[in-house]
Every structure is written in C-alpha cells, then in structure tokens.
Structure 1
C-alpha cells in the first residue's frame, strides 16, 4: 500500500510543480539533521518551496539513494527524505550514514490499539515491536566504514531520550497554541508495532498484537528505529492516530481524508520547531545509543583493565 500511495503522491507532486531540481550534495550546506517523511506529513513539506533549496541523490554501497531534499528552516540546514525513502529502506539509511547525519526525526500515522489513543491524538513512542518480514533485519555489513566494528545494538531504550523529550515538548506547545486542537491529546509513550505492510491488519491480528503489549500499529517506523541505531543515528518519531485499529472501533476511508488535511501541516510545524533545539545539542553531550550499539569482543580472554 505504501508503494501505491508513494506513486500517487509523486505523480501529484509532479503535476503541482513541487521542487524536483537535482544537483550535487556539495552544492548545499552540510546537514546533521534529517527528517524522514511519512503519512504524518505526506506532501506538506514538499509544498513548502521556501524550505527546499534543491535535491540530490548519492551513490551508496547498496545502491542509489532516494531523492534527498536539501532544506533549511530557521537557519538550520536539514535533509528531507520523502515517504520513508519511497521503498529504498536500506539505501535511505546508508545514505544518511554516509552524509554524516547525527539526528533524525521520523513519523507515521497509525491505528490505535490502546483505546486511550483516540483519533487525531499524537504519540511519541518509547518502544517498538518489529514484525517486518520482507526487509533486511540488519543493515548490510558492506555499508559500515570499519569492518571490524559491526554493531549488534540493544534497544533499551529504543529511541533517543533527548529527541523524544524535544518532540513531546514541541507537540504539547503546538497543541496548546490553538483551541482548534483542544480535542487532541499527546501520549508521551507507547509501544508501536510494525506490521508487514501491503494491507491493513485483520481484527484477529490486532487482538494478538494487543496481548503482546502493542499500543498502536503502523507499517514503517519499526524499520527506521532499528536501522537508525545500527547506523549510529539518534532517532525519535512522531506518530498520529489516523484510525482505530481493526476491530477496536469503526472507521471509513473518509476518516483518513479528514485526518491528513488537519494533521499534516500541524505535524510539519511541530517537527520544524524541534530543529533549532536539536541543532543546539552539543557533540560533547552523551547520547544513549552510543553505549548500546557495540557488543563486547566475543573472546574467552579476560578484559584488560
């Protein structure tokens, strides 16, 4: 389904004259922050020609990257990748790694399994369950700069706490800024389960996911959470509830038609508001992923002190 949606959106963007000008990465300021788009924003950023300075692709060791947009907001340069990488899951994260990205914000829309997560609510997940069955479970070894330093990461915590806190605070601030959003709540934690995609889940699958402790279900962010840490990129995601999960409540296709125009521009404003704060995080600030990425050497020899 994501591939179909991506093709439709791409065609629509071409018709409406969205920026598609290609250049070299060297033509733009180097960025250390990336936004990885999804249905929580759809085409909202691509419509903002004031943000986009140009676009490029790079060759990675696993193939050509998707289109990467060089953008700037509030004096902060950042890269934008549309639609989770438009099917180039591995190439996207290999490219962000090669570009030297330090922090990434992703997101999605999701079905609410936990009944407290209502339509239009935002969730900043703190854990994930990955039911991916058709994407590589790990980044290929060839992408790493040091063949002797291949990560076997832990995911407790699963997301970067600093980025999560910034997202929570900026989401709360955006919701408080207008009474138009009085019906929207922010959930500061939640377990997101990534289903395999290609179709919506069955009610029986949702009941099973609920027994596992999942609060919401989507199709892509689990992969992003896994790959980001493997690549040494700090990551957090902003997820909007677009519908009750199957069997949890009633919804129609028109439900989604109402969600996107309301939440896509709001999600973009929230994410853009995080950028100066993310950019201000010093390189000397310890990041949780740094201590969770590398497995100790597998040897019977005692560790030298």
Structure 2
C-alpha cells in the first residue's frame, strides 16, 4: 500500500526508534530529484522528506519545492504535515510555542511557485482562500492539546526569501500587515500542495522573537538550540497526529479548482 501521509521537515521525525521498515529512495521527475524515506508507524505507511537535505545543506531559496511536492504526489501522498522553525512577530506566540498557520503573506522573490506555468499543464488560477487544510489543522490541534503543548490554532505566516534574517524595519512592516510569524519555507510549498490536491498543514515551532522584538541580535545557533530543546515534543506531536488521522478526508483540498 502506498504511503498516504507525508512529513516534510527535519531528520528527528524518522528516527529508527520511531519508524520501522525504513528505506530510502531517490525519485526523479520532470522537475528534478527528491530523496524520500519510507517507513511504518503503528501500521500506517509514512513517507518523509528532508526539505533542506539530510545534512541541512540546501538553503530555503534553493530548495526544489516543485520536485519535492511532485514526488510526494506520484507516491500517492494525500496529506502533508510540514514542520517549520519560525520567528515570532506576536508577543503572545513565544519561543517554544507551536502555531498552526492558517494564512500566509508571500514575500519571496525568485522562486518557481507553481506547476501551472503555461507549458504542458497550462495556466490555471488555484483558489487559496484556505491555504492550510482546516481539517488537518483541527486534528493537529486536538493532538497538541492531548499532549498539553502550548499551541495556537491560527496565525499568519510571512514567508521571506532568506537565507538572511529580516531587518527590524521589515518586521515592523510585516506586523502592520497582519503577520504573526516569519519564516522562509512555507511558500511555495503550501501553494504547490494545493495545486496537487494534497492536504497541507504547517506545524510552526517558534524559536525566537523576530529582529527588533528580540532583546538580542539573532543567531542561527539560537534557532538550533530551541529546536533541539523542543524537538521531542515536535516528533511526539507528529506521531500522535498520525495515530488519530481518519482514513477518509472531509475537506475540499482534493477537489480544489485548479488541482492537477
């Protein structure tokens, strides 16, 4: 049986102590290559994809998002749980908190953001009223609450080009526009998933307050430290969500106009 659940994120979620029957495969498609890891958790087939590569060597602006999502679609994935480390623009969303984004603001600049580029697949304008699957977010919230984790069920994710951090002036602008979180990976990943008819939800882990809000200058090490401290909670949240996911979908993601 083909895996129906895909997880995009860091290596901790496919630790051999969590999944069984692990095997790796490099998949080639029209957009490039994607390295995926197959495994089983309590009888459910899962496919894992390390967004930045196994050694975190691919920066966010150079991730081949189209090859990754296309590979998951070809495998048969219908639901994606994506993890992301983010900075917070919202003082109510503190480091260590989890946020289930429901909207995004796109400030990326040089990324290939659609499968519908006018060539073989034509030009189609896909609805993005609910970019992050409401049903999947609700299940994630239920799982987080059962684990007594601090989770915010809504938040607007501001996606920047990276790999640099943002300036305080940019953060002020994003806050005025309604942003709650700032990160570098959700777009175009969420857009491509919707075009492919795949449910997609982001589990954003707040690692720091953004520039100008944080009392100190930002460092990549600060992000890594918080991720390491909260990594077990993230893995547990993902696996508990997998356990309670119903077999059937009750959302509109798979029937969106403009779906591949």
Normalising by structure 2, report the TM-score.
0.87
State the 1:241 CA deviation: 0.7
- Aligned residue runs from structure 1 range 1-305, under 5 A: 29-37=1-9, 42-48=10-16, 51=19, 53-65=22-34, 67-83=35-51, 86=58, 87-139=63-115, 147=121, 151-174=124-147, 176=148, 185-251=150-216, 253=219, 255-278=222-245, 280-282=246-248, 285-294=249-258
**Larger-gyration structure (1/2):** 1
Q: RMSD of the TM alignment (CA)?
A: 2.2
Task: Give SS of 1:224's match.
Answer: helix
Q: Verify the 8 A CA contact 2:144 2:150 in the aligned structure 1.
A: no
TM-score normalized by the length of structure 1: 0.75
Q: For residues 15 and 168 of structure 2, what CA distance do their matches in structure 1 show?
A: 36
* Matched length: 248
Verify the 8 A CA contact 1:36 1:84 in the aligned structure 2: no
The DSSP-based 3-state class of the residue aligned with 1:258 is helix
Between the aligned partners of 2:83 and 2:187, the Cα distance in structure 1 is 10
Displacement of 1:151 in angstroms is 4.0
CA distance in 2: counterparts of 1:141 and 1:72, whole angstroms: 36
8 Å Cα contact 2:113/2:187 also seen in 1: no
Structure 2 unaligned residues grouped into runs of 5+: none
Distance 2:153 2:194 in 1: 21
Say which structure is richer in strand.
2
